[in-house]
Amino acid sequence: MTEPARVTGAVPGRSHVWLWLALALLAGVYVRALAFTPVERVQGLAQKIFYIHVPSAWAAFLAFIVVSACSVGYLVLKDQRLDLIAASSAEVGVVFTSGVLLTGPIWAKPIWGAWWTWDARLTSTLFLWFIFFGYLVMRSAVGEPGQRARYSSVLGILGAPLVVFIHVSVTLFRTTHPQPVVLKPQGPTLPGEMLTTLLLSVAVFTVFYLALTARRYALAKAELARAQALAEGDHAA
């Protein structure tokens, strides 16, 4: 009777390197944000949350785009790795989305006086959270991996136009969110220093998202390899 394959605690691969790099970059950009970027005149120190809030929103939507793209890819190519990437991205995405939903009220309260205002971006992000949540709940409720991948991919594909429709619907309502200071058609009205910090934050969060997703994916592959090894062990016995 052969012994089942031994499993060590470590996750194979070099995904942890990227993670440490991302964390270092994160620390660096926040030093810049807090110490080397001017304080905004009207909003004061509360505006510093902007450098977490906006990049988190960007990372959340990036995560969702990856989920959708991998979903299409999986249904076309039937490569299980695409399903694992989508699942990893969804888990990371829900964390970033939660970050947006937490920093939003923290920012809004000193500025607008209310914890929650149904402004366009925050509301769309709330629904994005529910979409991620539904995706992850569906995955946890389906046992068979092939079926789980298929169902998740269907959700991932349907979610894309849904996000668009939700955003359009929400925008049709009156909003009280501050005008998007970066993506205005006549050019960003954010003064130079702040704009640079913001763009740096967005870049760093992108790296952070990629590192987290890569790590989660590596973990998922390790779990799969372990399950396969155990199954082989059972058969050989």
Partner 1 sequence: MPASTTAPPPALEAKALARSFGVVKALRGVDFALERGSALTVFGPNGAGKTTLLRILAGLLRADRGEVRMDGRPFRRDDAAQRRRIGLISHASLLYDGLTARENLEFYGRLYGLGDVRQAAGSALEAVGLAQRADSPAGTMSRGMVQRLAIARALLHDPVLVLLDEPFTGLDQAAAGALRAQLMRLRAEGRTVVLVTHNLDEGLELATHVAIQVAGRFVEYGARAGGVDGYRRRYAEATRDA
Partner 2 sequence: MRELLAQAAAVAAKDLLLELRSRTAFLSMLAFTMLVLAIFNFARDPTAVSASDLAPSTLWITFSFAGLLGLNRGFALERENRAIDGLLLAPLSRSALYLGKVLANLAFVGAVEAIALPAFALFFNVPVLPVLGPLVLVIVLATVGFVAVGTLLSAMAVATRFAELMLAVLMLPFLMPPVSAAAQITARLFSGRPFAEQVGWLKILVGYDIVFVILCILVFDWTVEE
Binding site for partner 2 (CB under 8 A): 75, 127, 130-131, 133-134, 137-138, 141-142, 146-147, 150-151, 153-155, 157-159, 161-162, 165-166, 168-169, 172
DSSP tag of 234: H
Closest CA to 97 of 136, 71, 69, 70: 136
To partner 1, the closest distance from the beta carbon of 227 in angstroms equals 5
Cα dist from 33 to 74, 129, 186, 211, whole Å: 40, 27, 25, 22
To partner 1, the closest distance from the beta carbon of 93 in angstroms equals 24
Task: Report how far residue 160's alpha carbon sits from residue 135's, in angstroms, rounded to the nearest whole number.
Answer: 12
* Interacting positions 187-226 with partner 1 (CB under 8 A): 224
Q: Does 12 bind partner 1 (CB under 8 A)?
A: no
* Interacting positions 113-152 with partner 1 (CB under 8 A): 144-146
To partner 2, the closest distance from the beta carbon of 76 in angstroms equals 11
Task: Report how far residue 170's alpha carbon sits from residue 123's, in angstroms, rounded to the nearest whole number.
Answer: 7
To partner 2, the closest distance from the beta carbon of 191 in angstroms equals 35
Pair 182, 190: CB distance under 8 Å: yes
In the bound state with partner 2, the residue whose beta carbon lies nearer, of 75 and 181, is 75
Q: Find the part of the chain contacting partner 1 (CB under 8 A) among 8-16, 109-117, 174-182, 227-235.
A: 227-235
Q: Give me the amino acid identity at 71.
A: S
To partner 2, the closest distance from the beta carbon of 8 in angstroms equals 34
In the bound state with partner 2, the residue whose beta carbon lies nearer, of 174 and 235, is 174
User: What residue has token string 């000193």?
Assistant: 110
Pair 149, 76: CB distance under 8 Å: no
Closest CA to 43 of 35, 91, 51, 63: 51
In the bound state with partner 2, the residue whose beta carbon lies nearer, of 50 and 127, is 127
Provide the binding-site residues for partner 1, judged by CB under 8 A. Answer: 144-146, 224, 227-228, 230-231, 235
